[in-house]
Structure 1
Amino acid sequence: MESTDFSRDSGQKPQSAGIDLQHLALRNPEMYINIAGSDFLRLGQNEFGGLGSIKTAHIFNDTLLLAGSSCAKLFSINEKETLETLYTGRTTCAFRQKDVYYIGTVYGLYRKLPDKTIQFMGKYHPNLTSQISQMIQGKDDILWISTYGQGIIGFKDNKVVAVLEKKNGLTSDICRCMHFDGNSLWIGTDKGLNKVNTAGRIPYVEAVYRETDGLNSDIINCIYTSGKVIYVGTAMGMTVFDETRIPARTFCDIKLNSVIVSGQEKSGSDSAAVLPHDDNNIRFGLSGISFLSGGDLTFKYRLSGLNQRWATTRENVLAYPSLPSGSYELQIFCINKFGDRSRMLVYAFVIEKSMWEEWWFRIGLLIILASAIGFTVRFIVRRSQAKEKQKLSAQHQLMKLEQMALQMQLNPHFIFNSIATIKQYYNVGSLITGNKLVDMFAS
C-alpha cells in the first residue's frame, strides 16, 4: 500500500495516501522508528535479523517489544541488539503489561510469564483462539484484545471481564484496530467505526460511524483522538471529524410488515387475533426506518406471556416455531445508529387451548379415571373374596375327608370293644344292660 514519507528531511509536500496501521516506516536498507511522536531512530535492517515483516513495536525504557512475521523479541535501542526472543513463529502483535508479555498470533493469544512459561490464553475464552489483531490497556488495568473474527475481549486478573461482539452491538466481529481515550474504547472494523462506553460495569456501543456518515471507507485501519477530534485512517485515506459538530438525528420508526402463521400470511394490523391451537408457528417481518443510519438498526423486543426479559437483535425477522396456548403481546421498538428510539409497536394475539387443556375435558377425564379406578378396586375386592370363599370351602371339604378317614380308622376297634362289653354283660347275667348297649350300637 502506498504511504507518504513524513520524515523531516524529505522536503516533500503531503500526498494522498492510504493510511495503514504501521508502527514502523521502512526505507531500504534502513528502518525508521517513530519515538515519542517527534524523534526518529534509525536502525539497519540487519539488526533485526530473523524478525521478518514487523507488525507492531512498543517501547518501554530503552527496550523495543517487536512482533514480526517470524517471531516476537525484545530489542535494546542503546545496544542495538536482541535481548530475548519471546516467541518463535508468525506473530501479529505483542504487548507488555507489568512483567507479562502477551503475544498475538493467527492461532490465538499466548503470554510469557516472568518464569519464562508460555501459556495459551484460549483456555480462558474460546474467542482468544482466533487471530489477534491488536492489544491495548484501558482503565483499571483491563487489557483489551481485538480479534479478527471474534470481536473484543476485556481481560484482567486471569479473567475475562468483558466481551464485545456483533450480537451485543458491534457492527462486525472483524476488529482491525483499537484506540482508548478516557472512558471510550474506539474500535475499527471492516464495517465502520464503533465507540464503546466502558465507564459502567457493562461496556456498550454508544455510537457508530460509517461511510454513510462521511468516512471515506468502512474498512478502518487505525484510529487516533485528540479531545473531540477523531482521526480515522482507512484504505482510502484519512477522515478527520469533530464529534461535537455531528448534527443530531432523531427520526426513527418501525413497521410490522407481515405476520405469517403456519405458512399463511395474516394482516399485520389484525391485533388481538385468535389463532387455533395448531397454528402456533408464527413469524413476524419487521422494518426499521432511519434514513441516515445506513441499515445500522437494532431491535429490542419481548413476547409478554412467554418471556418478560428484553432481547436484542439486528435481524428483521422474529420466529416462534412452537408457542404453547395462551395470551401474548409482542412489544418491540427500533434503535438507530445514533441511539434514537422509535415508537413502541405492540401486537397482541391469543392461541386457543387444545381440547385436552379445556376444564370440561379435564373434569370428564378425572371422572372416567375415578370410575375406572373404582371398578378396578371393586373387581379386585370381589375376586379376592371369591378366592377366600373357595379357600374356606376347600378347607371344609378337607376337614370332612380327614374326619371320614379317622372314622374309618377307628371303626374296627370300636366294634370289637362294643361286642366284648355286650358279651361280658350277657355272661354275668345283666341282660337289661346288655340289651341297652345293643340298641345304642345298632343306632
Structure 2
Amino acid sequence: MDQITAILDRLPALHPKEIDLSLGRMHRLLKALGSPEKRLPPVIHIAGTNGKGSVTATMRAILEASGKRCHVYTSPHLVSFNERIRIGTTGEFVSDPQLFEALNVCEEANGGEEITFFEITTAAAFWLFAENPADVLLLEVGLGGRLDATNVIDAPLVSVITPISMDHEKYLGERLADIAAEKAAIIKQGCPAVVAPQEDEVLRVVEREAARKRAPLQRFGQDFTAMSDQGRLAFQDEDGLFDLPMPSLIGSHQITNSGMAIAAVKAAGLWPGEEIAAKGLRSINWPGRLQPLVHGPLVDKCPAGAEIWLDGGHNPGAGVTIAAFMGEQEERSPRPLYMISGMLTTKDPVGFFRPFEGLVRHVATVPISTTNNGRDPFELADFARVAGLEATPFATVEAAIADILACAAKDGEAPRILICGSLYLAGEVLAANGMPPR
C-alpha cells in the first residue's frame, strides 16, 4: 500500500459519520493551519445539483486559454484522488509528493480531533492552493452549500448556481425549496451571482437570497442566454451577441452549461474576448460526462458499428438529460439502446430510470466495487422494473457487455450501450478501459 492510499484510508476514522454538515470543525482546522482560506487567489464558487463539473471545466478552459493559472477543486474523483485538486502553477493534477505533504500537514494540525474525510481533504486542498500561486480558484461545492466545507470563503468573485433538483434529501431537506436554500447560501454579501435555468420555486429562493445579500444576480433566460444557432453557440447579454463555436463537451445541455460559464467569467471580470473564449470552448476536457469510448479493452470487444457511451449522472435530473441525448442519437442513427447501470444506495433509482422508459431495450445492473455504498444489482434491477424497464443483474460490467453483444448478434444488430448511474462506476469503467482522466 502506498503512502497516500494509507493516509486516505486512515482519515475516515476521524469521524463516525461520512457526512456531517457543519463548519465548526473546518474553521478550527483552518485556524490551526494558519488560515489558508484567507490566502487563496480570487475564488469562483460553484454549487448546484447537476452541471457543476461541466461549468467548472468550461470556465477553466476559457480562463486557461487567456493565460490564467487556475487552481481547481472538484469532487468526487473518477480514478485517482489527485483528480480533485488541480494546481494552477502547473495546470496538472496535484502530484503525489505535494498531496502527501498536504495530507500530512493537515493530519498533524488536526491532532486527532473529530473531522470528516471531506473536511480534512478540503483543508488540504486549501493549504495547497495557498502555498502555490495562481490567478483564480474554481471551487466546487461538495454537498449542498450552506454548511459545505468549501463555504468558508467570505467574498468570492462570483457565486455560480447550476440547475437544482432533488438529491441528497437526507442532508438537505425533503422539499426542493429547502435544497435550493442550502445551495443558494454560497451567495455572499455584495458579490455577484449567476444562476442557471431553474424551477420557479427554486428561482424564487435564489432571488430572495441574492436580494437579502444585495448580490447582483444574473439569471439565465432573463439577463443572459445561450442557444444553438446553425451549429454555432450564440451567447447574448447586455453587452451584445457573441458568435462562438459549440463546446467540445457533448449534449445539448452543454449549451446551457457553456452559457453559465461565460456569464460567470464575465461577472468575475475575467472575460478574455470572443476569439480566446472560442479557443477555450474547443478545448474543454471533462471525462465521464456523455463520453464516447472509442478505444480500449472494453471497446475492442464490440463489433464494428457498436457504440459505448459513459456518463456519471446519478439523479432524476441527470436521467432526464441523458435520456434526451440518447433520444437524439436514436433519431440521428437508429440502433438498439442497452443500459448498464450501477448506483449508490443514497440515490433515487426509480427517478433516474423513469425517463428511459420506451427508449432502453434492456438494463443490466452491476455492482460498484470502489465504494461500500453501492446498491446490490438484484435490488437495482427491481427498481428498474418499477420504472417500467426490463432488467437483469450481472456480476461485472464485462459480463453485462458480453450478454448485450450476444443478444445484439442474435438479432443481427450493432448495439448502442450506455453505462451510467454513478461517477464511481464511470471511474471503474475508465480505469478498466485504460482511460484515466488527465
Asked if Structure 1 and Structure 2 have the same fold, meaning a TM-score greater than 0.5 normalized by the shorter chain, the answer is no
Tell me the TM-score normalised to structure 1 length.
Answer: 0.23
More RCO (CA 8 Å, sep 6+): 2
- By percentage of residues, which structure has more strand? 1
